[in-house]
Structure formats: structure tokens, C-alpha cells
Structure 1
Amino acid sequence: MLYEYTFYFANPLHFLLNFYAMKKIFSITAVIVLLIAVFAYIHVNQRLSAVSLNEKTVILEIPKGSSPTKVLQILQEKGVWDDDLAFTLWCKMNKPSLKAGWYEVPAHQTLDELAALFQSGKSAVRKVTIPEGRATWEIPAYLQKSFPNLDTARWNSLVQDSKFAHSLGVEGNTLEGYLLPDTYPFAINSDEESILKQMVAANLKLRDELKDRKGSMWEQLGNWHRVLTLASVVEEETGIPAERPLIAGVFHNRLRLGMPLGADPTVRFIFKNLTGPIYKSQLNSNNPYNTRRFPGLMPGPISNPGRKAIEAALFPEKTEALYFVAKDDGSHTHFFSSTLADHNKYKDIAAKNRGEKK
């Protein structure tokens, strides 16, 4: 036996041939391993670069404290992602910080894009436009198109809740006038309270912007509540932006002289009579909002004025006019006059424009 081993090592040619065979085996193995590694890398890379399954935008919520496993479960339930291995590998490689919130996930997102979205904390929103001059009880109709579950009764209750109003920094006892018309990006999970808070905050931000602007009538009006009160009447009296400062000028003249504002929209507010005729019994109402009977400003706004009407109330046009009447000629504009005699003449012209006979 010893002789055999001695012969094996003593024969160089035999040793080299065996060594070459073993080296060839090792080389082939290495190549196979390398190929497996390459194919595995390509496969994993393909899975990591895959896109989400959703064909349309999907809305989902990531609750607070959600782990990557929980997020994957949510994505699977919503039909966004189903590759457990790719998601798990990606999370281990990148260790993302996924933030809680509501998200709108576009179609065909990569893992990198999904992570960027969930790390942004950018909540899904619904944009809603609230037109100028709407009373608080009219606004839910605009919101319910995007928030069908919005509770009108809850909305109206909060609007009329003086404690809630004061907690938001509102000077009045209701939120009437303090819901600034605008296009808002409301979070998709918004409720009645959060929407009201956002609209009031926008109103008070405008107050802070305008309060110290030179040349305003702030001191004459006294406070923001009275500014909004006058602005709401200006808003309701004309839909022509260029006329608002002039109408505001007429109202300031009347306030200075102690004359009633004589604004029909204040009577409509009392009876929620937005269109159609105003009856004599309504014009004789003892309600303090009836500016056809009582001088000075009403107790509060009759609608939610927009920025232009608020600016008109604070920066009215200087004028001698004390009266105005709609021309009723299709232009939606008004005749302005400084005497009652001229005002009556314009009323006759307006009547003719309406086709009325004496």
C-alpha cells in the first residue's frame, strides 16, 4: 500500500493529469455557481423593478404604527401589490420610514415610487370649490359631491354652536361669514369639524393679512366681525366685481349718516328666501337683520363673502352716491345716484327695462 502512494506522488505526469481534472471540475462548478448568481440577481432585480397591479388610482390608509408587513397586507387587500418576497427584500435593503395617512396610489408604481409616496406623508385630498356669497347652510351641497357621507345636521349644529365658534377665534356666535369661499384641498378623511376649521382658518388668515393695510376702513367698522357683516351685504348686492367698491362706498355713506342700508338680501336671509318676490310682510319684519327697517349693520353676516367683497368693504370707492338700483337691462349692473329724485327716475327706467307699464 505504501508503495502505491509512493508511486502516485512519484509520478508527476499522473499527478498533473489528476490535478488538471480536479481544476476543471472546480472551474465548471464555479461557472455554474456564477451563472446561478447572475440569474438570481436578474430575477430578483426584475421582481424589485416590477410595477404595481392597480390599473387605476387606489385610495388607501396606512394606520399609525404600521410595520412593513402590515403595509404589504394593506397593499395586497387593495390589489396594489402581491409579491411578498420582492417587497420584503426591498424593505430590508432600504429600511424605509413609512408614514401614516391616507394616500392616492397611481397605477403602475414601482416599489421605489410607492415608498417615496408613503414616506412623503402627503395625504390624499379632494379639491372642492365653495363659491362666494353662499350661506353656511348652502355649503354642504357643494361638499357632498366629494364627501357623500357629510352629515348636514352635524354641520348645521357646529355652525350654530357659539362655544365651537369661539374656540376657533371667531368673534360672532355662529360661523356665518367666517367660511372663506375658495378652492380647498380637503383631506380625504375630513369630517364636518375639520372642514369648518380649515375654512375658518383661511378666513382669519385673510384678516391678519388685511388688518394693517394702509387706507382701510377698519377703525370705522371696528372689528373683523363688522367687516364681514358689511362685506356679506356687498357680496349679495352685485355679482359684478367692478361694482363692489362703489356699492361698499354707498353703504359706508349710509352708515355715516345713520340711514338704513335698505338691502333686500338681508330680508331674504331672515326667511331663507333666496329667489322670487319679497313680500310686504317680510319687509316689515321686526328681525334685527331687516336693514329695510333698522339703521346700522345687522348683528352678523348674511352669507360668506369672498376676498373681493371683503376688500371692497375695507377699501370702498369714494362717492357721493346714497342710492343704487339694478338696471334690469341684462347687464346685471346698477344705476347710482346721490339724490332720492334721481334714484326714483332710475327706478322708472329700470321698470321700463323690465317691461312694466305705469
Structure 2
Amino acid sequence: MTEDKKHVIRQKMLEHQSEARIVRRIVLIITIILAVTIVLIGGGGYLYIQSALKPVDSNSKVQKNVEIPIGSSVTGIGERLEQNGIIKDAKVFKYYVKLKNEGGFMAGDYQLSPSMDVPEIVSRLKTGKVLAKASFKIAIPEGKQLKEIAAIMAKATNQDEAQVLAKLNDKEFIKTLMAKYPDILTNEILNPSIMYPLEGYLYPATYPFFKPNPSVEEMVTAMLDKTREVLADYTDEAKDKKLSVHQLLTMASLVEEEATEKADRKKISSVFYNRMEKGMPLQTDPTVLYAQGKHKDRVVYKDLEVNSPYNTYKNPGLPPGPIANAGKSSIEASLEPEQTDYYYFLATADGTIIFTKTLEEHNKEKAKHISSKK
């Protein structure tokens, strides 16, 4: 090899080594920048959390009365505390409680101050005095429609039923609730085809109230707090099934309205899903009655002709929204239907549900158990 060639090779090797050193320096600089950024972000988040756990105002002498109703969720408690200026951040409060595995908060009227830190507030809530007796309770059964719930609320508080129902459907009121509960009340409830925006969202439970004659807003807030609390347990399952809250509550309401005490809700749910998968209309009678605003023991053929987006004999898929409220068992059945090849079901006079695979089998069972005059 000539000297010239050796010289060229050496020069190229030196150039490669120089380039490699530059690349290593660049990589090192980028790594340092990334590391510093991560530290700054992590440190900033840590500092924010530490700040949120400290008192809102350590020098405050103010004592505020904060009511924690029975059955309040951690989320609901945190929001109440933040709204009253007792804590800085409801979410930090929630995560602190979960991280520390705290619980057993007691309902009652608390005297709390912005000078208290989160650990002190948590301790107070765990040892607080439980209110001895609620002024009254409102029981909302499963399977109730909004008009029925309005009647229950009105009777319990000596209000005019029509005015209560009007408030429940007031557009501005609905918008304030949507702003407060964006995780459960979405734009889906504003669909023009929906009869009542809050239908299906007022969870069936017994609600205690600690002062006489609460407002419609106070009663609805308690119910939506409960709905949010219940649905929080099913967030991941709903996502896996690609169901929005609205779709979940709509399906659950159909299961609730078709179910009897003897019914297997998960099989009913399977029928609905099987039919939708095949592109078959759901053909569930309660939607027809809901469209007409009626309560009847039996549906006749004339009922099936009602012109309404809720009529699942004429319109495929789910109706525009829930047709009643639903309990946990119907919500769970809507998320975990049994795996079946049933496409039909029939309720007998004693409440037994007969499931069949074909229309021919369904009609045979129908002839056995139901009069041909429909």
C-alpha cells in the first residue's frame, strides 16, 4: 500500500472519530436536557401536590359549616370541601385518600377551617359526629321514569309536581348540571329526539336530607352524586365495551324494564346485543309504551305503529336515551351479557322468562303462554 493511500485512510479514520465524538456529545447534551426536563416536571408536580395538601390559609380564623350527607363519595366530599374553600384541590384530596387507604368518613355537619391541612380534615371526617336523624328521606325505586321521580320529589317536599318536572327539564338548569357533572352528563342528553334529558340519570336509592324542604337542585345533586359514584366502578368495563355513559344507561334501562324478579338480566342483555349484531330491531315493548307516555300490562299491535324514535319495532339499535332509571344489576348485565345464541325472549304470567333462538320457537312459546289477541 502506498504512503498516499495510508495517509487517506488515516485521515478518514480521524474524521470518523471526530464525528463520533460530536455525536456522543450531542447525545449526552440531549440526555441531560431530557433528564433536567423530567426532574423539573416531576418536581413541579410534587411541589403542587405538597402545596395542595397544605392549608388554604394557615392564618385563617374562619369556621365554616360543611354538611357531608350520608352516602357521599370521596369525589363528592372533595368537591364540597373545595367549593367551601376548605381545601385547594378536590382531585388531590381524592388521590390522597386513596393512596393512604383512608375511609369510613361519617356524615354530619362539620365546623371546618381553611387553616386545616388535608390530613387534619381527613381525621376530622373519620371521627365526626353522625347526624342522629335525617329530616326525611326520599326513596327512588328501580325502573322509575323521570315523571314518576318528579312526582315522588314533589310529594316529599310539598311542591307542585308540574313545577318540579319543569325544573328537571329546564335547559339552563340542565346546562348547569352538565358543567358540574361533565363525566356523566354529556352532549348526548341534548339530542333533540330525547324526551327528558335527565331520564335514567337519577339513580334509584334512598336519599336522606337533613333539612326540611330541600330544593329541586339539592335533591338532583344528591342523585347525580350517587350516579357518578356507582358508574365510577364500571368506567373501564364501559370503555372496553365501547359504550358511552349514555349508551350504557340506555341499555341498562331496557334490561331493567324487561326484567322481572325471576328474570336473568344477563340473558336479556345478551338477546339485545345479539339482535343488534345481526342488524335486527330490538322490538322491546317498554320503548313503545314510553314513546306513548303510557303504562299498560300488555302492548297491542296498534301500539307498535307509534311514530317515535323510541319505537324499537321501527327503528334499529338503541333508542335515543334511557326510558327509566336502572339499578346495579341491570348496569352490570349491560356490561357483562351472558354468551348465548338467543334472539327472542318471552315473559309468562308468573314472571318466568322463556328464551328462544328462532322466531318459530318464539311463536310456539307465545301460543302456549299468551292469548293470540294482541
Q: What TM-score bracket applies, with the shorter chain setting the length? A: 0.5 to 0.7
* TM-score in terms of structure 1 length: 0.60
Q: Give the aligned partner of residue 356 of structure 2.
A: 337
Q: Deviations over 1:178-213 (max 9, x none)?
A: 10001111233411111111111111111111112x
In the alignment, the residues of structure 2 paired with residue 241 and residue 152 of structure 1 have an alpha-carbon distance, to the nearest angstrom, of 35
Is contact 2:199-2:323 (8 Å) kept?
Answer: yes
Unaligned 5+ runs, structure 2: 1-62, 66-108, 112-127, 191-196
Aligned to 1:271: 292
- The reply on whether 1:206 has 2:216 as its aligned counterpart is no
- CA distance 1:323–1:221, shift in 2 (3 Å): farther
Q: CA deviation at 1:150?
A: 5.7
Give the count of matched residue pairs: 238
CA distance in 1, matches of 2:345, 2:320: 23
Q: 2-side partners of 1:65 and 1:226: how far apart?
A: 40
4+ long deviations beyond 6 Å: none
Deviates more, 1:131-140 or 1:154-163: 154-163
Residue pair 2:241, 2:335 contacting (<8 A) in 1 also: no
Give the distance between the partners of 1:187 and 1:340, measured in 2 at CA. Answer: 54
Q: 5 Å matches for 1:39-58?
A: none
Q: Distance in 2 between matches of 1:254 and 1:177?
A: 23
CA distance, structure 2, for counterparts of residue 159 and residue 278 of structure 1: 28
Q: Work out the CA distance in 2 between the residues paired with 1:249 and 1:204.
A: 25
Query: 1:335 aligns to what SS in structure 2?
Result: strand
Alignment match, 1:188: 211
Separation in structure 2 between the aligned mates of residue 280 and residue 234 of structure 1, nearest angstrom: 22
Residues in 1 aligned to 2:165 and 2:143: alpha-carbon distance in whole angstroms? 18
Query: Which has the greater radius of gyration?
Result: 1
Q: Aligned residue for 1:130?
A: 140
Q: Deviations over 1:155-182 (max 9, x none)?
A: 3332453424422331223111110001
CA RMSD, 1 decimal: 2.8
Aligned to 1:166: 178
Q: Is the 8 A contact 1:160 1:175 kept in 2?
A: no
Number of the residue aligned with 2:248: 227
- Quote the offset at 1:239 in angstroms: 2.0
Q: Relative to 1, partners in 2 of residues 1:99 and 1:240: Cα closer, same or farther, differing over 3 Å? A: closer
Cα distance change of structure 1 residues 347 and 183 upon mapping to structure 2, 3 Å threshold:
same
Question: Following TM superposition, by how much is the alpha carbon of 1:243 offset from its aligned partner in structure 2, in angstroms?
Answer: 1.2
SS at match of 1:139: helix
Partner deviation per Cα, 1:26-77 (whole Å, 9 max, x = no partner)? xxxxxxxxxxxxxxxxxxxxxxxxxxxxxxxxxxxxxx999xxxxxxxxxxx
Partner AA of 2:252 in structure 1: A
d(CA) in 2 for partners of 1:296, 1:65? 50
Inter-CA distance 201–338: structure 2 relative to 1 (3 Å threshold):
same
Q: 1:272 to 1:221 in 2, by over 3 A?
A: farther
TM-score by length of 2: 0.58
- SS where residue 320 of structure 1 aligns? coil
How far apart are 1:309 and its partner, in Å?
A: 0.8
Deviation of 1:306 after TM superposition, in Å, equals 1.1
Alpha carbons 2:262, 2:353 under 8 Å: kept: no
In structure 2, the partner of 1:245 is 266
Question: Unaligned 5+ residue runs, structure 1?
Answer: 1-63, 67-97, 101-118
